[in-house]
Amino acid sequence: MDKQRLDEIKAELDRLAENDVNQLTTGFVHKRQSTYHALHPLVMCCELLKAYEQATTWQDIDTAPKGGQDILLWIKGENDSYRWVVGYWGKYSGAWVTDDIDEVSPTHWMPLPKPPVTEEG
């Protein structure tokens, strides 16, 4: 999940919190609506935390995207040591590849971080 989606979720949480305050000050709210409004921000927070965790933790390779985009791959290197490389699912080879290694067998993956914002844009 990208920063734009996280910002949208935060804005929705802020809006819901403001609505709940308005509802409490304008009178009785049906129990069902009150429960929904009480739980909805919690559900949104859980979605936000799950998205953050997925963007910042290594995930099983079976869940990796296979659309050709670059991702971080966790592979076994020389001397039985592990390391990360940037790679992608090769559409034609049907395997995980990197620019330096034709085929790799990663165990985990993680999305690449967004590039820094520069003055040039």
Give the separation between CA 109 and CA 106, rounded to whole angstroms. Answer: 7
pLDDT reported for residue 66: 95
Q: What pLDDT, in 10s, does the model give residues 4-59?
A: 777 777 777 777 666 655 555 455 445 555 666 667 777 777 777 777 777 778 99
pLDDT at 19: 64
Instruction: Return mean pLDDT, the chain.
Output: 79
Coil/strand/helix, residue 56 = helix
Percent of the chain with pLDDT over 90: 35
Tokens of 15: 């809006």
